[in-house]
Amino acid sequence: MDWKNRLRHWYTHHKRDLPWRATNDPYKIWVSEIILQQTRVSQGLDYYYRFIDKYPDIQSLAETDEDSLMRVWQGLGYYSRARNMHRAAGQVVRDHGGRFPADMDSIRSLKGVGEYTSAAIASMAFNMPCPVIDGNVLRFITRLYAIADPVHKSTTRAAIKRILDEHMDIQDPGLFNQALMEFGALHCKHARPECHTCPFQDDCLAFLTGRVPMFPVKAPKAPKRNRHFNYVVLLKKNNEGIWSLIRKRDQQDIWKGLYEFPMCETKAPAGLDRILESGLITFDDADCRPIYESHAFRHLLTHQVILARFFVLQLKEMPPLTNAWKAVNLKSLGTYAFPRLIDRFLEEELQEIEKKIK
């Protein structure tokens, strides 16, 4: 079955106008591919524009500080992607004189760049015949050939790579790869694929046998675990405004490098008394006035569900600060990168809280 010409024809007439398709700059292609990992194009497009505006080249990315980078990335999630990009930019500046490497081994050596991303960069920026295999490609190829083996297996992916190698457009591998991914994203979709207008109807074994919803075959998903985060928002008012305590998360856990209020994790929902008994932070009870308790905020991640509540206390005096904590004015909270969960709390409830402060 030779289908690459049909794929090219479909792509020519249906492709989206996306900025990274109008360049062969490996830096911009790399940025787009990292952003689009775990992120839909509709969400990632604005982030791409903001990122390129802030960091137009790899030198500017290498020279930025992590806090500034996290602020630009805030809301995209999977923050290790941004930290890895920062380290990779440093590698390029240090080891390659600031020029993005043009050979596969060097591209693969960059922090956070795996098989898929390296193939995308190599084909689109340097015209190397390297097939890309992402979720959209897996879905299309497993349906086209009715591949019943689970796609998480290395043998399955190797078989799909052999198919793609066989059909690769040697003259324009970048266009071939983009067409594959675009067809999976727009036409051979996960839900409601457009089989009735598919140019591969006569060859698609899944369609011909009435089994399209069965592909791709995936491993069973592990159940998500619940985690209970209890934030204590400490506020103190003086002539200069309202102040709070925040710190940067530095443990090997979600949201590393982002800021948060004092937080105590519990195995089940807990009240304020239980949180304060944990020794999370110490202060004179006589100086403390509870002024607000939020509803439970629910935040979904890939393998876990965060259930968070915010307990807001007004203090006459802040507790002694250690190196981990910093006192910040509420008006400047917007300059710090918080997890989206905390941003939602601030957006929805901060104004109401400020009204309760005496």
Q: Is 33 an active-site residue?
A: yes
Claim to verify: residue 120 and residue 232 sit in the same structural domain: no
Q: Residue 238, SS3?
A: strand
pLDDT tens digit sequence for 89-113: 999 999 999 999 999 999 999 999 9
Residue 270 resides in a domain: yes
Residue 220 resides in a domain: no
Cα gap 302→304, rounded to integer Å? 6
Residue 188 resides in a domain: yes
Kindly indicate the confidence band of residue 197, based on its pLDDT and cuts at 50, 70 and 90. Answer: very high
Claim to verify: residue 83 and residue 117 sit in the same structural domain: yes
Claim to verify: residue 235 and residue 192 sit in the same structural domain: no
Claim to verify: residue 196 and residue 286 sit in the same structural domain: no
**What single-letter amino acid sits at 106?**
S
Q: What's the chain's Rg over C-alpha atoms? A: 25
Residue 265 resides in a domain: yes
Q: Residue 290, SS3?
A: strand
- Taking the model in full, what pTM does it have? 0.84
Give the count of domains, the chain: 2
Claim to verify: residue 95 and residue 163 sit in the same structural domain: yes
Claim to verify: residue 132 and residue 264 sit in the same structural domain: no
Range of the domain at 109: 4-214
- CATH at residue 343: 3.90.79.10
Structure-token match 């403390």, residue found: 288
pLDDT tens digit sequence for 62-76: 999 999 999 999 988
Domain boundary among 187, 214, 241: 214
331 token code pair = 């008006």
Claim to verify: residue 9 and residue 151 sit in the same structural domain: yes
Claim to verify: residue 208 and residue 301 sit in the same structural domain: no
Residues belonging to the chain = 358
Domain boundary among 151, 183, 214: 214
Under a CB-based contact definition with an 8 Å cutoff, are residues 129 and 170 in contact?
yes
How many other CB atoms are found less than 10 A from the CB of residue 228?
A: 17
Residue 219 resides in a domain: no
Claim to verify: residue 185 and residue 283 sit in the same structural domain: no
Claim to verify: residue 200 and residue 265 sit in the same structural domain: no
Domain boundary among 214, 246, 272: 214
Claim to verify: residue 256 and residue 199 sit in the same structural domain: no
Residue 43 resides in a domain: yes
- CATH at residue 9: 1.10.340.30
Residue 271 resides in a domain: yes
Cα gap 31→85, rounded to integer Å? 8
Active-site residue, from 33, 182, 349, 352: 33
Predicted confidence at residue 39, as pLDDT, reads 87
- The number of helix segments (H) and strand segments (E) in the chain equals 14, 8
pLDDT tens digit sequence for 287-334: 788 999 999 999 999 889 999 999 999 988 887 777 788 899 999 998
Residue 164 resides in a domain: yes
Claim to verify: residue 23 and residue 106 sit in the same structural domain: yes
pLDDT tens digit sequence for 28-82: 999 999 999 888 899 999 999 999 999 999 999 999 999 999 999 998 888 999 9
Phi, psi of 288 (to 5 degrees): -115, 135
Q: Quick one: which of 314, 299, 284, 280 has its CA closest to 345?
A: 299
